[in-house]
Amino acid sequence: MIEFRDKFLGVKHIALPSNYSYITHHARVYGNVPLWVATNALTFGQISKMYQYSTSDIRTKVSLNFANMSEVQLHQLIRILASCRNVCAHNERLYSFKVNEAISDMVLHSKLQISQKNCPHISQELLFSKMGFPENWDKIARYKK
């Protein structure tokens, strides 16, 4: 009956891993797992989905913990961070990864001294230089494309 009610009301479920003793302890002893306990076992993706599935008033309350950031901006940053995290976690190239959504102007831009008009992109040459590649890396046999 609970599953039908939850589906009817649009309640979303995020599965908690049960292989953590503190998760099973709280579930067995107290019948629930407090959020402060659950977050130790959740992945970044699960936390971002939890934020996404939250009601607007809860997302607004959470965003108040971040100075000068609206609920929409925080949600956008979480989505972008989750995408970047997935690129790194799946051994893809982060240097050529492009975010397909505009990042709204926020105080963070000025704190990091990032232009809000033109997003600075690092060139391939500068990136390879910072990584220790020699200038003529493409002419050296072991680096051939």
The 10s digit of each residue's pLDDT in 43-75 is: 888 888 888 888 999 999 999 998 888 888 888
Backbone Cα Rg of the chain = 21
Among 30-39, 55-64, 115-124, the range with the most confident prediction by mean pLDDT is 55-64
pTM over 0.75? The answer is no
The predicted pLDDT at position 8 comes to 40
Token pair belonging to 73? 């901006």
The predicted pLDDT at position 119 comes to 60
Q: What mean pLDDT is predicted for residues 69-87?
A: 87
User: Is 82 exposed, middle or buried (CB count within 10 Å of its CB: 0-12, 13-18, 19+)?
Assistant: middle
The predicted pLDDT at position 48 comes to 86
Reported as half-sphere exposure (CB side, CA atoms, 13 A), residue 34 has a value of 5
The predicted pLDDT at position 62 comes to 92
Question: Which amino acid would we find at residue 8?
Answer: F
C-alpha closest to that of 55 among 43, 63, 45, 46: 63
CB atoms within 10 A of CB 48: 19
| pLDDT(31) > 50 | yes
Question: Which amino acid would we find at residue 53?
Answer: Y
DSSP class of residue 137?
G
C-alpha distances in Å from residue 145, one per residue of 98, 107, 122, 140: 22, 41, 20, 10
